[in-house]
Amino acid sequence: MNKIVEDADAALKGIKDNMTLMVGGFGLCGIPEKSIAALVRTGAKGLTCISNNAGVDDFGLGLLLKTRQIRKMVSSYVGENAEFERQMLSGELEVELIPQGSLAERCRAGGAGIPAFYTPAGYGTEVAEGKETREFNGKMHVLESWLRADFALVKAWKGDRFGNLVFKRTARNFNPVMAMAGKITVAEVEHLVEPSEIDPDEIHTPGIFVQRIFQGKDYEKRIEQRTTRKRN
């Protein structure tokens, strides 16, 4: 039951070329910083990364774009990363853009064992091209399939050696649904505690979904865009 590994490098053991990875976070909030840095060190190429976006040019998944380790991005947003945009427009990077809610639900469905579901999002757009459509209650819907991954890399605020995770506020975002959908889920946490220190009612992701956990240190927690109000 002890799922603790020494560090990010040990946690990512087994990641190889051409694998599919889920990477938690929203913008730069709640991203698995240490796992992404270790992923760069693996040198694994041809990766398919499922993530809401690809960070910024010099942080988050942007680091993997810079080293050309990502072959395909499955995302809902590309606006903060100039290198992402450049590679997509030049044809160097394959991109599947998905409505944000559909992306979250496809990840959740993968973890719940639901192979497909209907949603109205994307009907009548390029998102629906080549997909089955069906009318429900007078409204057209698109059939979307689940998403699953060889590895899911997530970041939590607190965790224990059993793999139980607690996320902090908006840093929860995509992390819980992606944790469910990886064959191997790696969780990095800011605080690694004893199981008795987490109230069962506070657990967001049960340890059954987590295979490896480690404690990260010295998190940068960079802010993607800082907007402040002028003093009166």
Taking only the tens place, the pLDDT of each residue in 93-121 is: 999 999 999 999 999 999 999 999 999 99
HSE-CB at 154 with a 13 A cutoff on CA atoms is 36
Establish if 226 belongs to a structural domain.
Answer: no
Establish if 224 belongs to a structural domain.
Answer: no
Establish if 230 belongs to a structural domain.
Answer: no
* Mean pLDDT confidence for 193-208: 97
Domain total for the chain?
1
Taking only the tens place, the pLDDT of each residue in 53-95 is: 998 989 999 999 999 999 999 999 887 788 998 999 999 999 9
pLDDT of 133 above 90: yes
Percent of the chain surpassing pLDDT 70: 100
- CATH number of residue 194's parent domain: 3.40.1080.10
pTM (two decimals): 0.94
Minimal CA–CA distance to 42: which of 22, 67, 66, 24? Answer: 67
Cα separation of the two ends of the chain: 56
Establish if 181 belongs to a structural domain.
Answer: yes
Range of the domain at 159: 8-114+147-215
Minimal CA–CA distance to 119: which of 130, 107, 110, 106? Answer: 106
pLDDT of 29 above 90: yes
Establish if 1 belongs to a structural domain.
Answer: no
pLDDT the model gives residue 80: 79
